Every structure is written in structure tokens, then in C-alpha cells.
């Protein structure tokens, strides 16, 4: 459905932020993760991966909740 596609696109948007931050030299989590990779700063790399994964999981959870509220065919069993 449209909601599922939007949720997946938000995950890709986070990956696209890395490229945008690198090209325009904007500070952000993408630039932080790239600098951490170049400097082999493993705790920062782990933190950025956990934050990105948590963001993706929360967005998908919210989309599933909204989907179950909007579609009457999907219900709790």
C-alpha cells in the first residue's frame, strides 16, 4: 500500500541524507558517520547505526499502527 511505500522511502531518505550532507558540507548524522568511518571511531559508528535502525523501526511501527487503524480488513486476532 501507499503507507508501506512511504515507510520504506523514509528509510532511503536517511541514506540519501548522508550524500547530501557530504556534498554540501552540512553537519548531521550522515556527516558524523562518514567522519567516524574515516577515523575508525567504532563507538560512534555503532551509535549512528543504532540510531538509524531505531528510526527505521519506529517509523515502520507507526505506519503499521496507522495502517491497522485505517484499513478495516486488518484487525487484531
Cα–Cα dist 77/72, whole Å: 13
HSE, side-chain direction, 13 A CA sphere, residue 36: 17
Total domain count, the chain: 1
22-29 contacts: CB < 8 A, separation 24 or more?
none
In a domain, 57, yes or no: yes
Q: Can you give the pLDDT of all 77 residues of the chain as single tens digits? A: 787 788 888 878 877 887 888 888 888 888 888 899 999 999 999 999 998 889 888 988 988 888 888 877 776 66
In a domain, 14, yes or no: no
Q: What's the pLDDT at 67?
A: 84
DSSP 28: S
In a domain, 75, yes or no: no
* Residue 70: burial class (beta carbons within 10 Å; 0-12, 13-18, 19+): exposed
Could you tell me which residues come within 8 angstroms of residue 61 by beta carbon, excluding any fewer than 6 positions away? none
Average pLDDT over the chain reads 85
Q: What's the pLDDT at 43?
A: 96
In a domain, 32, yes or no: yes
Which residue range is the domain that position 37 belongs to?
Answer: 2-9+27-70
Amino acid at each position: 500500500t501507499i503507507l508501506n511505500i512511504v515507510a520504506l522511502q523514509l528509510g532511503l531518505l536517511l541514506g540519501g541524507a548522508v550524500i547530501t550532507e557530504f556534498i554540501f558540507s552540512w553537519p548531521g548524522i550522515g556527516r558524523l558517520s562518514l567522519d567516524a568511518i574515516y577515523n575508525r571511531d567504532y563507538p560512534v559508528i555503532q551509535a549512528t547505526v543504532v540510531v538509524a535502525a531505531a528510526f527505521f523501526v519506529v517509523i515502520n511501527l507507526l505506519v503499521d499502527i496507522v495502517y491497522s487503524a485505517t484499513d478495516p480488513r486488518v484487525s487484531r486476532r
